[in-house]
Amino acid sequence: MEYFIQQLVNGITLGSIYGLIAIGYTMVYGIIGMINFAHGDIFMIGAFVALISFIIFSLTGIALPIILLLVLLIAMLFTACYGWTVEKLAYKPLRGSFRLAPLISALGMSIVLQNYVQVSQGARVKPMQPLFSGGLEFFKNSDFIVTVSYLQIFIVVLTIILMGIFTYLITKTDLGRAQRACEQDRTMTALLGINVDRTISITFIIGSSLASVAGMMFVLYYGVIDFYIGFLAGIKAFTAAVLGGIGSLPGAMLGGLLIGLIETFWAGYVSLEYKDVAAFSVLIVVLIFFPTGFLGKPDIEKV
């Protein structure tokens, strides 16, 4: 039982990270109907920017909460630049091209980003000294002590705050309305005087900033990154987006949590080696049996 609760806590933490990445996939899919294959690598770039700024700030001796806030903002800002540029260079010229063109372009972009980081930062894994230590302990008098570290609490709370801001942005502001309008009918939205290109750019910026937060959490949580983390995390987050129903924002978060839980429980109870197979199998099973996911709308093909 205690073991189960521990795995649950770990799963929720991991799920928060996946959920934040999944939002980027689902938003872009909703608005321009393409799978942004390079999104996982944007997450990786976010992790690197966070790592670099952590190293710099830890030399200055500022208090930890301020460092966290600064790193958060810096990572979001720089990673958003990447998201914006990738969209402008690789996807914008392809609107109206044949269906698979943006996917292939995204694949190329993903290869470029991965190798670009490999060249500029080196291929070795980057370890980081843990900034957080300690945590709350439960069930102290049983044989298995459940530990909820402060880091896990930080990750989950930060995710909840970001989700709150994000939901407000999408449901209550003009920007969110424009975005939802673009999702439904881009031509009509343009006719009504909304700058569609700008709305799409902002979508990429928001998606990349959330991914960079996930990247920062990843650095803190695992303490080690390399240029290759984007690939697996990207696939898993995409699975999460599909599981929750692609195009649906609460779905992405829900899917992220589920994938995080599935992965943790699989690793905890079944086998550690095959934990990535679990994620891929879930992806395949979900796509086959309910491609619309939990909260998605059915996709009807028209002539």
**Part of the chain binding another protein (CB under 8 A), chosen from 79-87, 148-156, 169-177, 203-211:** 79-87
Closest alpha carbon to 106 in 197, 32, 166: 32
The alpha carbons of the chain give a radius of gyration, in whole angstroms, of: 19
Q: Closer CB to another protein, residue 124 or residue 140?
A: 124
Determine if 292 is a binding residue for another protein (CB under 8 A): no
CA–CA separation, 97 and 181 (whole Å):
22
Q: Closer CB to another protein, residue 38 or residue 196?
A: 38
For another protein, which residue of 2, 3, 4, 56 counts as binding (CB under 8 A)? Answer: 56
For another protein, which residue of 73, 93, 173, 188 counts as binding (CB under 8 A)? Answer: 93
Binding residues among 262-281 for another protein as defined by CB under 8 A? 273-274, 276-277, 280-281
CA–CA separation, 199 and 217 (whole Å):
27
Binding residues among 28-47 for another protein as defined by CB under 8 A? 34-35, 45
Binding residues among 98-157 for another protein as defined by CB under 8 A? 98-105, 107-124, 126-129
Determine if 73 is a binding residue for another protein (CB under 8 A): no
Cβ(242)–Cβ(255) below 8 Å: yes
For another protein, which residue of 18, 43, 82, 266 counts as binding (CB under 8 A)? Answer: 82
Smallest separation, CB 246 to another protein (Å): 9
Long-range pairs, 152-161, Cβ under 8 A, ≥24 = 152/9, 152/10, 152/12, 152/13, 152/221, 154/68, 154/220, 155/13, 155/16, 155/17, 155/217, 155/220, 155/221, 156/12, 156/13, 156/16, 158/213, 158/217, 159/16, 159/19, 159/20
For another protein, which residue of 85, 142, 184, 195 counts as binding (CB under 8 A)? Answer: 85
Q: Closer CB to another protein, residue 8 or residue 131?
A: 131
Q: Closer CB to another protein, residue 12 or residue 206?
A: 206
Instruction: Write each residue from 210 to 249 as x if it is in contact with another protein (CB under 8 A), else as -, in one continuous string.
Output: ---------------------x---x--x---x-------
Determine if 173 is a binding residue for another protein (CB under 8 A): no
Determine if 81 is a binding residue for another protein (CB under 8 A): yes
Instruction: Report the interface residues with another protein, using CB under 8 A.
Output: 34-35, 45, 48-49, 51-53, 55-56, 77-78, 81-82, 84-85, 89-90, 93-94, 97-105, 107-124, 126-129, 231, 235, 238, 242, 273-274, 276-277, 280-281, 283-284, 287-288, 291, 299, 301, 303
